[in-house]
Amino acid sequence: MQKLTAANLVSAIRQLPRNQNYNYINPETKGYIRIVDVKLPEGGITFKRWNTSKGETMDTAKICSISSNAIWRYANAFSENQPVNADRVFGGSFNYRSVLESLVAHTPEFYFCYPGRIEDIAGNVKVKNGHKHLIWIPSEPHRNGVSARKETNIAISEIPAQSVSYDLVLPPALECAEIDINTARRHTQIQIALYLIGRHLGFRTWIAQNDKGIIYNGQPLIEQNGIVKTLRDEPTVYPYEGAVQAGLYIDCIWFQNHKLMPAVMEVEHTTGVTRGLARMLSFYTAIPRFPTRYVIVASDDDRQHVIRESSRDIFKPLNILYFPYSAVEELYYLCEKRNLNGQSINENFLDCFMTRVLC
């Protein structure tokens, strides 16, 4: 199954006619949209919008923009033949969500539709008239520059997705650190999520030397089942001069059966991507060309920064994968709620949640 990216959406929107005014998909939203510029490969997109009933004109309308981050957020929501509601994707925020939705709807692979809405009240289930959605059907393109409705028998539940929660206590060193405590916690939450994912998949996990005092479920991480206590016990690392020292402060390394190393990961929330890349490069240089994944784990909002820094010539040998926080939490949720394990899936499954920086 294809995976939609921001580059796909941007490329499709860039092929829309520039000298055309576009209507909103929601008939209750009055006015017009005109594309000003579309930057490849992943945006942003600049445009004008105006409402003639308010006396506005295209000439007087100001130029507004849609960021690459917003485009990525929308692209990540789509799977083939599955309706997507822009309001739910953006949580009612982002002022230009209706503009992005309308422009996408005028590209050939997208249709607007009104799937049924499943209503469950005290066990009494009904399918009622639903709200406007877009649906991605790449196998049935329509004419470029027009919007088209697709009739569908799909009914969807509008129950909010399950949130991911963590139970952890920070060590005193982090409590006293001269950084915002919420930032420190977020970094730690993601580290613990990676550890728990690894445990489900049958991996043992190395956590950076300075983070092993973190308390999770009443115990320091160093005492948790499946935590690697020292890299000197790992035959994929200790034989190579400088490898143990190079790996000490890497945020997370997964090991399997004392023979494999599925991933080397840096969680970047406050310190910047470059330091993490440099740590992984030192580790990469210290060991032979061992088959593994070098991964930057970072906020969805930092995607462009990750891609830019990871694409620098010095870091190209790492062939970096980007693992956004939202994908970490999605995989964590699947592992916890669907009891995924190393016997039921293979390692290739992991790649579905990551993006290769250098294509």
User: 26-71 pLDDT, tens per residue?
Assistant: 888 889 999 999 999 888 899 999 999 899 999 999 999 998 888 9
Tokens representing 65? 């923009």
Tokens representing 43? 């945006």
More confidently predicted of 212 and 319: 319
CA angle 161, 201, 270 (to 5 degrees): 65
Kindly report, residue by residue over 201-216, the tens digit of the pLDDT: 999 999 999 888 888 8
DSSP for 10-48, written as a single string:
HHHHHTS-TT--EE-SSTTS-SEEEEEEE-TTT--EEEE
Q: Which amino acid is at 171?
A: P
Q: Which amino acid is at 156?
A: I
| Rounded average pLDDT over 111-117 | 89
Q: What is the per-residue burial (b if ≥16 Cβ within 10 Å, else e) of 145-158?
A: eebbebebeeebee
**Rounded-to-integer distance, Cα 229 and Cα 232, Å:** 9
Q: Is the pTM of this model over 0.95?
A: no
Domains and CATH numbers, the chain: 6-157 (no CATH), 168-356 (3.40.91)
pLDDT at 178: 42
More confidently predicted of 329 and 172: 329
| Rounded average pLDDT over 92-98 | 76
Which of the residue ranges 116-120, 157-161, 269-273 would you say has the lowest mean pLDDT?
157-161
Nearest to 37 by CA among 49, 46, 48, 26: 46
- Report whether pLDDT(250) > 60: yes
Q: Are 20 and 145 in contact (CB under 8 A)?
A: yes
Residue with tokens 């939609």: 4
DSSP state of 183: H
* Confidence band for 119, pLDDT divided at 50, 70 and 90: low
- Report whether pLDDT(218) > 70: yes
Kindly report, residue by residue over 252-274, the tens digit of the pLDDT: 999 999 889 999 999 987 557 89
Enumerate the H helices of the chain as residue ranges: 6-14, 68-76, 86-89, 97-105, 172-175, 181-200, 243-247, 273-286, 303-310, 325-338, 348-351
Q: What is the mean pLDDT of the chain?
A: 85
